[in-house]
Amino acid sequence: RYGSGVHQYDVRLSNFSIFLQYANVLEVLYNPLIFLTKLPILLQCQRIFCPHRTIGWTCKIILFFVLLNLLFYIAVIIPQIMTCNPRKKIWHPLIPGKCLDLSLLLIARAVVNIVSDFSILVLLMVKVWQLQLSTFKK
């Protein structure tokens, strides 16, 4: 409706600022939503692999992943909210002001997501293979 799903040169200028507003909101919401997706997975792992609140290496790693993701996404969301000064410059590029270049931040976010997801997957694979079950049941 406001430019999503069409070629960039087909977007009307009147719709472009609305498109940029929505894009900015979605970009800022991405971080907490990804964290809120990883958190229940990690808490479920803690519930399964840390019975009776024992503090083994698995529990420490899970807690480390929760804290690492929380701190990282808080650190990423702040520059994304403060991208431009004044903020209105995000969707009205002709307004005088300054904007940060977020390309390195977006690359860092992608790298941390990939490493974090892969590490969680490896942790779960190791813990599942340590279960005292037949290979078929694992």
Written as one string, the DSSP assignment of 111-136 is HHHHHHHHHHHHHHHHHHHTSSS-TT
pLDDT at 41: 94
More confident residue, 12 or 38: 38
Report the share of the chain in percent with pLDDT over 70: 95
Give residue 44's pLDDT.
92
pLDDT digits (tens, 9 = 90+) for 60-110: 999 999 999 999 999 999 999 989 999 899 888 889 999 989 899 999 999
Share of the chain above pLDDT 90, in %: 48
Under 8 Å CB-to-CB from 48, ≥6 apart: which residues? none
Q: Say what the pLDDT of residue 57 is.
A: 86
Query: For residue 9, which phi and psi values (nearest 5 degrees)?
Result: -75, -10
Q: Per-residue b/e over 93-111, b at no fewer than 16 CB within 10 Å?
A: eeeeeeeeeeeeeeeebee
pLDDT the model gives residue 2: 56
The span from the CA of 75 to the CA of 108, in Å, is: 11
Confidence band of 11 (pLDDT split at 50, 70, 90): confident
More confident of the two residues 124 and 1: 124
User: Which position has the higher pLDDT, 21 or 13?
Assistant: 21
pTM to 2 decimals? 0.78
Find the radius of gyration of the CA atoms of the chain: 21
**pLDDT on residue 92:** 86
Question: Looking at the predicted structure, is the pLDDT value of residue 3 above 60?
Answer: no
> Which letter does DSSP use for residue 75 in this model?
H
